[in-house]
Amino acid sequence: MKKIIYLLVITIILVSCANSTKLMQSGNYDGAIQVSLRKLKGKKPNDKEMQVLEQSYKKANDRDNDKINFLNKEGNPENWNTIYDVYSAMKNRQEAVKPILPLYITSLSRNAIFDIKNYDDEIIQAKKKAAEYKYALALTLLEKNNKSDARAAYNEFVQVKNFYANFKDVDAKINQARAMGTSYVLFKMQNNTGVPLPPNFEEELDKISLTELDGDWIRYHTRKSQGVTYDYTILVNMKNISVSPESVKEIDYTESKTVPDGFQYVLDAHGNVRKDSLGNDMKVPKTKVISCAVEENYQNKKATIAGTLDYINNVNSQLIKTDPIEAENFFEYRSAVANGDFNALKQETRDKIGRKPIPFPNNFDMLLQAGQTLKGMVKNIIFNNKGVLY
């Protein structure tokens, strides 16, 4: 059916820009028919277009009948779907022509000849045979009990349903094939560091949303569901967890700036104030250097979680792929006191003045924040590698 729709779209495109005679001569009979129909509808009789339509219609039907005869002689049950498509195309062709009949060709003193038949019995038979064949084929594929064949079976069952909405138990079989053909992936973490994690660390990591990665035949779960057999595991394998000691550094430095400091008169060689062309005293700006001493207190601490993101085939316990992962969380805080002219300070230095040192975050909080970074990193890797699992 999709093939027929595709061909019709192509035909419509050709109709808008082609010549019927050339289309017929090239073997595109249906394209020629569409062009002729468009020209004949609502216009004065055109003998040339009537003859092109008559010839194209006959040639198209002859070709289709030859194809059906060959497919029937071949005796392959797989051909019933094609036979159904061809008969449907023949019926659509004559239904397109019927509204403008009869057509009288003045130059030949006769009506154009169109072989009009009732194709319903042939279409019904081919449709039934095609549905039966596809249903039987799908059952055979299901019996092979593997995912690729189950997916192929699903496609066959869907085509059966397109033929007959209530064919046997097709809905149940579609669901069965869908279930058998779907791969399930379990996302989990494993702490192989020997270092205890915060109590809710794993819970926070499990909140990662992977549903947007779900495809036609793959589902990602962050929690194990009862009754689901998982084909793959994506394992956050943590191998190293570290939190640096709390570090405090005192940094002393001075900042300076050159600023305006009034003006001074310009003197000549005799020590007299020089005049400009208007007789005014000449003067130039004066500057001075101001400075401020700063005593800065720099606090820092770092938490690191490192390991690998492992893709595991649960059927054979094979490691399919592994990617390194490392997430860090930094705590930095700067406070300072100053002595001198505050106007000499940069704005970023001024922002530190008046602050006081603050308590360091505890190790668990640092690791939780690193875990949030890890979560985003892991999700990006899984997204980039979504073609690895199928």
Q: Which helix (H) or strand (E) holds 65?
A: helix 47-74
> Which residue ranges make up each domain of the chain?
1-117, 124-181, 183-241
Using only C-alpha atoms, the chain has a radius of gyration, in whole angstroms, of 41
**Over residues 133-156, mean pLDDT:** 96
**Over residues 197-207, mean pLDDT:** 82
pLDDT (0 to 100) of residue 363: 93
Which tens digit of pLDDT belongs to each residue from 81-110? 999 999 999 999 999 999 999 999 999 999
- Residue with the larger pLDDT of the pair 261 and 2: 261
Strand residue runs (E) in the chain: 104-105, 110-111, 183-191, 218-221, 232-243, 247-265, 283-313, 318-340
16 has pLDDT over 60: no
pLDDT (0 to 100) of residue 3: 53
Q: What is the DSSP string of 281-295?
A: BPEEEEEEEEEEEEE
Mean pLDDT is lowest, of 18-22, 113-117, 174-178, 323-327, for: 18-22
Half-sphere exposure of 274 (CA within 13 A, CB side): 11
Backbone dihedral region for residue 334 (phi beyond 0: left; psi -120 to 50: alpha; all else: beta) = beta
pLDDT (0 to 100) of residue 10: 53
Share above pLDDT 70 across residues of the chain, in percent, rounded to a whole number: 95
The separation between the first and the last C-alpha atoms of the chain, rounded to the nearest angstrom, is 28
pLDDT (0 to 100) of residue 6: 53
76 has pLDDT over 70: yes
pLDDT (0 to 100) of residue 205: 82
Which tens digit of pLDDT belongs to each residue from 276-291? 888 888 888 999 999 9
Report the predicted TM-score, pTM, of the whole model to 2 decimal places: 0.71
pLDDT (0 to 100) of residue 14: 47
**Over residues 307-325, mean pLDDT:** 96
Q: Are 238 and 305 in contact (CB under 8 A)?
A: yes
Q: Which amino acid type is present at position 129?
A: K
pLDDT (0 to 100) of residue 208: 85
Pairing of strands 104-105, 218-221: unpaired
22 has pLDDT over 50: yes
**Over residues 171-177, mean pLDDT:** 97
